[in-house]
Structures are given as C-alpha cells and as structure tokens.
Chains A and B, each alone.
Chain A
Amino acid sequence: DTGVSQDPRHKITKRGQNVTFRCDPISEHNRLYWYRQTLGQGPEFLTYFQNEAQLEKSRLLSDRFSAERPKGSFSTLEIQRTEQGDSAMYLCASSPRGGPNNEQFFGPGTRLTVL
C-alpha cells in the first residue's frame, strides 16, 4: 500500500496525558498537512510542512500542540496535557510539488478520545 498511513488509528487517553501521532506521507510528496475534524464538521487546517520546514500554523494549534517533520519524510503531531476538547479525528494529508491541481491525499486518520 503506497498511500498515506497514520498510526495509531485510535487513541484513548486520560485528560492531562500527552499523546503523539505519526503520519507517513506518500513517498515522493514533499508537502504534508495536518487537519482536525470534530463530530459533524469538516476538517480544519492545523499546520503545513514543505519538506522539513513548517511553513504555516493555524490559530487552532495552541501551545500544547507541536508538529515536526525532522527529515522531510514522516511527521509527528504531539498534544501535551490533553483536554476533553481535543477529542477529534486527526487527519494527515500529503501532496506533490507541482501537481496539476494540488490535490491532497488523505490518510485514514487517528481518532483521539480524551476521557
């Protein structure tokens, strides 16, 4: 399977704990995006990487959130001191540079439940 992969698929944690999610984009894609999707809503942009550089961050990305893409390949999204409001689906997407329409290919998501 050469699509975008995310791990874990599901995460249940207690309020106050830290969690980390991983995203492996399609291998030749240099652009990587993180989105958050809450129940009944469409995905909302969190952050964007081009290679290893984090070029854009949403206001949704509070100080408790940090994302990295150290070698321009996989990315991690960490949430510190989780809150119940962090419960959501976290989606990762990737796209190639110079694609005809900049289509983003999405992974299956990580569903986070904060108790």
Chain B
Amino acid sequence: AQKITQTQPGMFVQEKEAVTLDCTYDTSDQSYGLFWYKQPSSGEMIFLIYQGSYDEQNATEGRYSLNFQKARKSANLVISASQLGDSAMYFCAMREGRGYSTLTFGKGTMLLVSP
C-alpha cells in the first residue's frame, strides 16, 4: 500500500483564490510527522509546513495551512490567496517514528495559478 497518496495529478486555480491539495497517509506508528514541500521548475524542494501527529491544532505558516484530520489520515494543504509564483509541484511527505527518520513522499500535485 502507498504510504502517501496524492490523488490530484494537477490542479488549476485563479490568482487570489484559495486551493486545497489533498494528501492521505498510511502508518501504524503513533508518532509521525507530515510535511509539505514545494518544487518549482528549478528543482529545489522548498519546505512549506509541518504537522506533528500529536499536535492538536492545525499548522499554519503565512498563506499555508494544513487541514489535519487524524482519524481520516489526511493532511491537506490549503493555500489562501494564490499567487502566480505558487505555480509548482507540491509534495506531501511523512516521517514515521521519533527522532531522525527518512521521508516518504507522494507523487505530487502540479498546481497552476492563472491570472
């Protein structure tokens, strides 16, 4: 089974609108972390937001927020007020267990923001 599932290969949104990128995960660990990264065409992975499994509140970072629904094992990224520079690939990733751990990534969602 896929550990991280991103069901939207591509999403379109108009500038200034909000958009939600879906992510579901699969783990039997009680302690885990969920990450969202942005990858522009240049290739570099840019960290956006983190949610720990024990965090009771949804994470927020500026225009990014993470809609964490633990029982449903979903960690959707919400981008408010989209900007043209938001056009990129977006990856959801999971770290299982405490301490160091490698990241398992989903296949990504391509977001295109139009004027």
Does chain A have a CB within 8 A of B62? no
Name the A residues within 8 Å of B35 (CB-CB): 101, 103
Q: Which of B21-44 contact A (CB under 8 A)?
A: 33, 35, 37, 42-44
Establish whether residues A42 and B43, one from each chain, have CB atoms under 8 Å apart when the complex forms.
no
Q: Which of A65-115 contact B (CB under 8 A)?
A: 89, 91, 93, 95, 97, 101-109, 111
In the bound complex, CA of A36 to CA of B109 (Å): 18
Given contacts A31-B100, A42-B91, is CB(A101)–CB(B108) below 8 Å? no
Given contacts A101-B33, A108-B43, is CB(A43)–CB(B50) below 8 Å? no
Minimum distance in angstroms from B1 CB to a CB of chain A = 16
**Pick the contact of B44 from A41, A103, A108 — CB < 8 Å?**
A108
Establish whether residues A101 and B50, one from each chain, have CB atoms under 8 Å apart when the complex forms.
yes
Given contacts A89-B43, A93-B45, is CB(A42)–CB(B106) below 8 Å? yes
Interface residues of A, CB < 8 Å — how many? 27
Establish whether residues B45 and A41, one from each chain, have CB atoms under 8 Å apart when the complex forms.
no
Minimum distance in angstroms from B55 CB to a CB of chain A = 10
Interface residues of B, CB < 8 Å — how many? 25
In the complex, per-residue mask of A26-49: 1 if CB is within 8 Å of any chain B CB, else 0: 000001010100001111110010
In the bound complex, CA of A95 to CA of B35 (Å): 14
In the bound complex, CA of A102 to CA of B45 (Å): 15
Q: Can you sample 30 A-B contacts with CB below 8 Å?
A: A33-B103, A35-B103, A40-B107, A41-B108, A42-B106, A43-B91, A43-B103, A45-B104, A48-B100, A56-B102, A89-B43, A91-B45, A93-B45, A95-B100, A101-B33, A101-B35, A101-B52, A102-B99, A102-B101, A103-B35, A103-B50, A104-B103, A105-B47, A106-B45, A106-B46, A108-B42, A108-B43, A108-B44, A109-B43, A111-B43
